[in-house]
Amino acid sequence: MKELFKKHRETILYLFFGVATTVVSMGLYYLSETALNLTPTVSNLISWVGSVIFAFVTNKIFVFESKSWAPKVALKEGGTFFASRILSGILEIALFEGLMYIGLNQTVFGSEGLIAKGIVTVVVIIINYVLSKLIVFRKK
């Protein structure tokens, strides 16, 4: 088990923190849409912002082990990370709206669009891993 973890450490941690990020995203969406009574689109935006902040910190520290917090390094990584997440965020919003439009807007657990949100989340996790690995935290 230890060898398996060592061999696939980065992927396992990315998936673990991807699930944690998804929990943050879904939780923020659910609370925004139900407790704050915001529209699904606004709730989706709030969930995205919160989950991007959470994802940057966990990816930098735990997944890709980028140790430096020197301003030059952190700003470059942070800027690239947020730019890549803006790109995937635009995709997330467009895909979410498209899925809502084609009928995946059912109310589940009192929240409209939760099925669409789940599907979009899986697609975005995959895209974000590729962007983070190949661009943001790429090893020299």
Tens of pLDDT along the chain (140 residues) come to: 889 888 999 999 999 998 999 899 999 999 999 999 999 999 988 998 899 899 999 999 999 999 899 999 999 999 999 999 999 989 989 999 999 999 988 888 888 888 898 899 889 888 988 999 999 998 76
44's tokens: 């989706």
pLDDT at 135: 93
pLDDT at 89: 85
Which whole-number Å values give the CA distances from 23 to 48, 128, 133, in the listed order? 11, 16, 22
Helices (H), the chain: 2-7, 9-30, 40-58, 71-101, 114-131
pLDDT at 106: 83
Distance, in Å, from the CA atom of 30 to the CA atom of 43, rounded to the nearest integer, reads 8
H/E element, 68: none
Which whole-number Å values give the CA distances from 62 to 10, 35, 119, in the listed order? 9, 32, 26
67's tokens: 């140790």
pLDDT at 105: 84
65's tokens: 């082990």
